[in-house]
Amino acid sequence: MRWSSRIACLLAVLLLCVPAVYTEPPRIVERASARYKMGTPTDPGGSGKFYMGREISVVMGHQGAGWLERPEREKEEQPKKLLQMLDLKPGMVVADIGAGSGYYSFRLAEKVGTKGKVLAVDIQKEMLAIIRKRMKKNKVENIEPILGTETDPKLPAGGVDLVLMVDVYHEFAFPYEMTEALIQALKPGGRLVFVEFRREDEKVPILLAHKMTEKQVRAEMAPHPLQHVKTIEALPWQHVIIFEKKDKQRRNDPASGGARAHCK
């Protein structure tokens, strides 16, 4: 082949490859911008990005990991009571999304036992490093730390019995995409559990963007193949809102009601 033909071939290959390399990130931004609106932050904990009328909060940095382990949490959040509500069984696979320092991961690991597993997902590698260090120190082997991204928790498809999100969902930069990915990871009938500070209660001393109303959580889950199972209002400050993954048949059948309840 002559040099001029070789150069022409090389240019053609480059022209074909370069758009393939660069199309993915702009596509994500485009998809996001149709769903999300940018504006002025309305709260010190707000990001200025809005989804379905709610301002997404900023992400709590790993520098605040000590706050997650504060002893007052026992009284404020009653973790034992929360875990009882989840009906956990030995052998279950539970995903602790936004695991932080592992406050709940280690408690969950005890409940699911050595035959079960806790997939501790976070987007900050520093949080996962804290979890790994604690695993080593306490000889815990049934936790798997996973570095997720803002849109992908990197979970095995159809491999999870229960997804727990304690004080996390309101931080998701891409709540729609994360919810889709979490549903993909659930087994049929698997549960998705939100534990969010009650925005309806002004006495709960948390920044507004870090609190959610039950109505807002349910509105944001409405586009997804999920069935609301129950909302439990038995913790001092937080809602516990439980959804179940719909099976394919029920997803396309508006007549199939399913269990709905609101517990006090």
Ligand X SMILES: C[S@@+](CC[C@H](N)C(=O)[O-])C[C@H]1O[C@@H](n2cnc3c(N)ncnc32)[C@H](O)[C@@H]1O
Interface residues with ligand X (CB under 6 A) are: 59-60, 68, 97-100, 103-104, 121-124, 127, 148, 150, 153, 166-168, 171-172, 178
- 263 alpha-carbon distance from chain centroid: 23
Tell whether the torsion through CA atoms of 82, 225, 180 and 215 is positive or negative. Answer: negative
Query: In the complex, what is the shortest distance from the CB of residue 194 to ligand X, in angstroms, rounded to a whole number?
Result: 11
Q: Which is nearer to ligand X, 6 or 125 (CB)?
A: 125
Judging by beta carbons within 10 Å of its beta carbon (0-12, 13-18, 19+), is residue 255 exposed, middle or buried? exposed
Query: In the complex, what is the shortest distance from the CB of residue 154 to ligand X, in angstroms, rounded to a whole number?
Result: 9
Q: Which is nearer to ligand X, 62 or 250 (CB)?
A: 62
Q: Which is nearer to ligand X, 46 or 148 (CB)?
A: 148
- H/E stretch holding 112: helix 103-112
Query: In the complex, what is the shortest distance from the CB of residue 230 to ligand X, in angstroms, rounded to a whole number?
Result: 21
Q: Which is nearer to ligand X, 100 or 190 (CB)?
A: 100
Judging by beta carbons within 10 Å of its beta carbon (0-12, 13-18, 19+), is residue 254 exposed, middle or buried? exposed
- ∠ CA 176-181-187 to the nearest 5 degrees? 130
Which residue has 């001092």 as its token pair? 236
Query: In the complex, what is the shortest distance from the CB of residue 167 to ligand X, in angstroms, rounded to a whole number?
Result: 4
